[in-house]
Amino acid sequence: MVNHIDRTSYTEGLHRVADHCSAWLEPPGGWGLSNSGVVRAGDEVLVIDTQNDMRMARAMRAALDQCFGSRDPAHTTIVNTHHDLDHWTGNGVFDAGRIIATDAAVKEMRSTPDPDSLPDLVEPDTAAGAWARGQAETFDYTA
């Protein structure tokens, strides 16, 4: 049996997918623009990936608070699907009681350099340097 889900527009924000399930979308997609999932069961909220930067994470948190109300952090669980920055950099915005990730992801997260230092890690007059500067200018990693 296949459950059909109504189409939703691909616009930034929180979109209901099914009862108690939502998706936070970050169009147009691409590096640093990931989507997140949200599942609510009673007082518990599960957030799947927390966005790439503080602006995005705060916007998602504000939308969740508006929909579900403020809640005790002990009732929030984060699942980080993997170690790429765009899936976990916003963790601190959520004050979660629990964060779940694989051991391999945690190891990579702990060894990831501060994203604001990316331009300093590459030669400035290269394609990698231009890319790193662009990321630093686009995303806000300050807590």
Residues 6+ apart with CB under 8 A from 58: 90, 93
Confidence of residue 6 (pLDDT cuts 50, 70, 90): low
- Looking at residue 38, its pLDDT comes to 94
Q: What is the per-residue pLDDT across 36-65, written as a single tens digit (0 to 9) for each?
A: 999 998 888 999 999 988 999 999 999 988
107-128 mean pLDDT = 88
Evaluate whether 135 touches 112 at the Cβ level (below 8 Å): no
Give the CA distances from residue 7 to residues 4, 15, 117, 143, in Å, rounded to whole numbers and listed in that order: 9, 10, 40, 35
Evaluate whether 126 touches 96 at the Cβ level (below 8 Å): no
6-30 mean pLDDT = 84
Q: What is the per-residue pLDDT across 55-91, written as a single tens digit (0 to 9) for each?
A: 999 999 999 888 887 777 778 999 999 998 888 999 9
Using only C-alpha atoms, the chain has a radius of gyration, in whole angstroms, of 16
- Looking at residue 5, its pLDDT comes to 52
Percent of the chain with pLDDT over 70: 94
